[in-house]
Amino acid sequence: MKLSVSYNFFNGEEHLEASVRSIRESVDYITVVYQEKSNSGEPISKEALNVLKRLKELKLVDKLYNYKPNFKKTRAQNELKKRKIGLWLAILKRCTHFFTMDADEFYRKEELEYAKQYIIKNKIASSSVSTFFHLRSVEWRALDSTNCSFITAISWRTKIGGNIYPVINIDPTRKVLPLEESHYHFSVDEVAMYHMNFVRKDKMRSKLNNTSTTDVDFLRKIEYNINSWKPGDIFLFPNKGEFTMEKVDNEFNTFYGERLS
C-alpha cells in the first residue's frame, strides 16, 4: 500500500501540525490543498500561512497546493473541488490508496496501522469510520452520529462526491468510491476519527463564518449551544440530538482549548 492523505485547509491551524504528526509515520504522501481566500471571500490568517510554511520546512507535508475558489460556485462545490484535487495529486504520485482530512481531525497511530493491514489482507476497496467530536476543549468528547469516509483504493473508477455510499451520515464531499466493489465500516473499537471541530482559539468565529453550511438558523443555534455548554450538562447538537460528554486526556498533544474544569 502506498497511502496518500490530502488535507482540505483554510482555518483550524492551531490543530494542523498535531494532526499531521498523528498520521505522518503511517502515510507515504501528504498534501495540503489550501486557499488564500475562503469560499466566503475572507482572507487566510497570517498564522495559518506560517503553519503551512513550517510544515513544509520540517518536511511533515510533501506538497502544498494553492486552490483559487470559484465564487460563482457554492461553498460546498468549492470544497468538493479541493478534495478532488487531493485525489488527483495522489494519482500523480502513483499512490494506491487515499483518504481526505481536515486540519482538526486525528487518528491514533495504532488504529491507522491496523486499518492498513486489514484493508490489504481482506482486499477492501473502500472504508469508513465512526467519529468523536470534542467540545470547547480537547478533554471533553462524545461519540458522534456522523461517519467519515476513510481509506479507499485508487483505480480508474475512483471518484469523490455523489449521493450513493454504503454508509449513511457522511459528508457528500467526502464520499470516495470505487462504486462496484467491497466496502468495510470499521467499528468504533477498531478505528475512529477524533474531531476537534468545536475547539478553536477564536471561539469558532472563522469556522462558523466560512463553513460550507449556509443555514443561518443552524449556525446561530450551534454557536449558542457551544458557548452555553459547561461540564456536566447535556450538549444539544442541532439536527442530531442530545449528547453526554466524557472527560478524556489530550492524547494528540494539540491545542487544548478552554480550561473548563
- Residue 252 in domain: no
- Residue 253 in domain: no
Distance CA 121, CA 132 (A): 27
CB neighbour list of residue 230: distance below 8 Å, 6 or more residues apart: 260
Q: Which residues, in sequence order, are bridge partners of residue 170?
A: 147
| pLDDT of the residue at 119 | 97
Domain range for 14 is 3-247
pLDDT at 161 over 70: yes
pLDDT at 131 over 90: yes
| pLDDT of the residue at 163 | 73
- Residue 258 in domain: no
| pLDDT of the residue at 133 | 96
- Residue 261 in domain: no
pLDDT at 135 over 80: yes
- Residue 260 in domain: no
- Residue 256 in domain: no
The pLDDT tens digits for 183-196 are 999 999 999 999 99
- Residue 23 in domain: yes
| pLDDT of the residue at 179 | 63
Region 29-34 average pLDDT: 98
Average model confidence (pLDDT) across the chain: 92
- Percent share of the chain, pLDDT over 70: 97
| pLDDT of the residue at 192 | 98
173-182, 185-194, 218-227 — which is least confidently predicted? 173-182
Distance CA 208, CA 248 (A): 25
3-class SS string, 189-219 = CCCEEEEEEECCCCCCHHHHHHCCCCCHHHH
For the chain, the domain total comes to 1
| pLDDT of the residue at 180 | 62
**What's the chain's length in residues?**
261
CB neighbour list of residue 105: distance below 8 Å, 6 or more residues apart: 19, 148, 193, 194, 195, 196
- Residue 255 in domain: no
Higher pLDDT, 201 or 119: 119
| pLDDT of the residue at 12 | 92
Q: What is the DSSP letter of 42?
A: P
